[in-house]
Amino acid sequence: MKKTIPVWRVILIAIFVAGAYATYLRFVKGWAAATNLSDAQPWGMWVGVATLCGVGLSAGGFATAAAVYLLGMERYRPIVRPAILIAYLGYLSVCVGYVYELGLPWLAWHAFIYYNPHSVLFDVCFCILAYTTVLTIEFSPAIVEKLPWKGFRDGYMHWHHRLATAVVLAGVLLSSMHQSFLGGLFLIFKGKIYPLWYTPHLTTMFYLSAIPAGLAMVIIALYLCNRSLDAKVDPAIIKEVAWVISPLLVLNLVWRMVDLVKHGGGPYLFLWRPETAYFWLEIALFIAIPVVMFNHRWIMNRPEGAYWTSAVVIAGFITNRVNVSINSLERATHANYVPKWPEMAVTVMLIACAVLAFRYAVIYLDIVPKKVVAKTKSWLANAGVAANA
């Protein structure tokens, strides 16, 4: 333990130094120094990875909140806070990422005074900002409960408790909207997108794939909390979340294939082209390999089994988003885009910031259970919370 921390510190410092230099390049030296973006490839890694994956991997927040607050699955209450924190940090990094991505970031507020309701991007923007606000409200008790002013604390908690369900409901709707509209962004590129990724239901594709990826992210975070931060999250809960992901992935596969064949992508499935390889890589990483791993007893019985399987799911999810936003367009736009190092450095720095913030939140706030709670009698398990209310 003592040996590993300095190594990670060195890596972190390297990440932040590189990120700071990349920031300098982007805002002082300009686009050409910081990116490989061009007229043929105006959207690159900052959209494909920083935005699409940042939002997508945060889907665990609304999924667990809905399960606990709306569907009454009280058993999962201990993982709602970490899931919401992941989502909150994810959205904050997306917002920061947009400062790099926009050409005129200091004018970003124009989106709200000159809004164009026909633009899918406007809907995405609106929902992301609204949902970031919702997440702030959902997460706020974790900070407020640590404040020293008792009167304010009690008053805040009282009102928060009364409004929680409504806030969660709004959050679920907003999330569902923009998770799918992120796919909707690509609808207007009809004709430019390679047939393996174009469907009029890109919205559904993005929504269906975000949920398992978001849950995989929650598993990774919980496992790491248990391993390195002395958290005591019941491993059974982690395992159960893993059990949910697998059927969701199968649903993704079935839906994808039916939709693909229905919209004329069938003939492209086995052509000797780079796109074919990207497509099968995505299917393998996002669906095929994880489904096998999730259903393999030897893997799942190991404490790190669900963790590594979730990592594969996330790799597959990122492949999917990069495929849709970059690889699917290159044949039509004749672009040959590979991100320049500052683009990667900025993205990695944003991720590192989120991970660090998560770590310190877990250490200093009550995010995850830190001691084993005695089991309640089974017939009281669901009534317990109602009794508190």
Partner 1 sequence: MAKALLIDITKCIGCQSCAGACKEAHGQPGDPEPKLSETALTVVQEKNGKFVRTQCMHCESPACASACLVGAIKKTALGPVVYDKSKCVGCRYCMMACPHSIPRYEWSKLAPYMKKCDMCYEKRVSQGKPTACAEACPVQATIFGDREEILREARKRVVNDPTYVPRIYGEREFGGASMFFISDVEFEKLGFVTPGSEEPLPEVSKAALDEAPMVVLVGGTMLAGLYWITNRRKEVLLAQAQKKTLKFPIIDEEKRS
Question: Which is nearer to partner 1, 172 or 318 (by Cβ)?
Answer: 172
Q: Cα separation of 306 and 221, whole Å?
A: 11
Instruction: Specify the residue for token string 């005695």.
Output: 374
Question: Which is nearer to partner 1, 37 or 237 (by Cβ)?
Answer: 37
Query: Applying CB under 8 A, does 236 fall inside the site for partner 1?
Result: no
CB of 106 to partner 1, least distance (A): 9
Indicate which single residue of 61, 184, 265, 342 sits in contact with partner 1 (rule: CB under 8 A): 184
> Which residues within the stretch 17-46 sit at the binding site for partner 1 (CB under 8 A)?
27-28, 30-32, 37-40, 42-43
Task: Spell out, one character per residue from 103 to 122, where the chain touches partner 1: x when CB under 8 A holds, - when not.
Answer: xxx-xx-xx--xxxxxxxxx
Picking from 172, 161, 225, the residue whose alpha carbon sits closest to that of residue 370 is: 225
Indicate which single residue of 188, 258, 261, 338 sits in contact with partner 1 (rule: CB under 8 A): 188
CB of 213 to partner 1, least distance (A): 20
Window contacting partner 1 (CB under 8 A); options: 52-60, 231-239, 298-306, 376-384? 376-384
CB of 13 to partner 1, least distance (A): 28
CB of 105 to partner 1, least distance (A): 8
Query: Applying CB under 8 A, does 385 fall inside the site for partner 1?
Result: yes
Asked whether 93 and 354 are in contact (CB, 8 A), the reply is: yes
Picking from 52, 43, 74, the residue whose alpha carbon sits closest to that of residue 314 is: 52
How buried is residue 386: exposed, middle or buried, by Cβ count under 10 Å (0-12/13-18/19+)? exposed
C-alpha of 241 from chain center: 16
Query: Applying CB under 8 A, does 72 fall inside the site for partner 1?
Result: yes
Q: Cα separation of 154 and 230, whole Å?
A: 29
Query: Applying CB under 8 A, does 206 fall inside the site for partner 1?
Result: no
Asked whether 187 and 200 are in contact (CB, 8 A), the reply is: yes
Total interface residues for partner 1 by CB under 8 A: 64
Two tokens at 113?
């005074």
Two tokens at 262?
């229905």
Asked whether 91 and 55 are in contact (CB, 8 A), the reply is: yes
Rounded-to-5 percentages of helix, strand, coil across the chain: 75, 0, 25
CB of 59 to partner 1, least distance (A): 15
CB of 274 to partner 1, least distance (A): 20
> Which residues within the stretch 115-174 sit at the binding site for partner 1 (CB under 8 A)?
115-123, 125, 165, 169, 172-173
CB of 19 to partner 1, least distance (A): 19
Query: Applying CB under 8 A, does 102 fall inside the site for partner 1?
Result: yes
Indicate which single residue of 228, 276, 295, 333 sits in contact with partner 1 (rule: CB under 8 A): 333
Long-range Cβ contact pairs of 87-90 (< 8 A, separation 24 or more): 87/58, 87/59, 87/60, 87/61, 87/62, 87/135, 87/214, 88/58, 88/61, 88/132, 88/135, 88/136, 88/138, 88/139, 89/354, 89/357, 89/358, 90/54, 90/55, 90/57, 90/58, 90/61, 90/354
Interacting residues with partner 1 (CB under 8 A): 27-28, 30-32, 37-40, 42-43, 66, 69-72, 101-105, 107-108, 110-111, 114-123, 125, 165, 169, 172-173, 176-177, 181, 184-185, 187-192, 200, 203, 333, 374-375, 377, 379-380, 382-383, 385-387
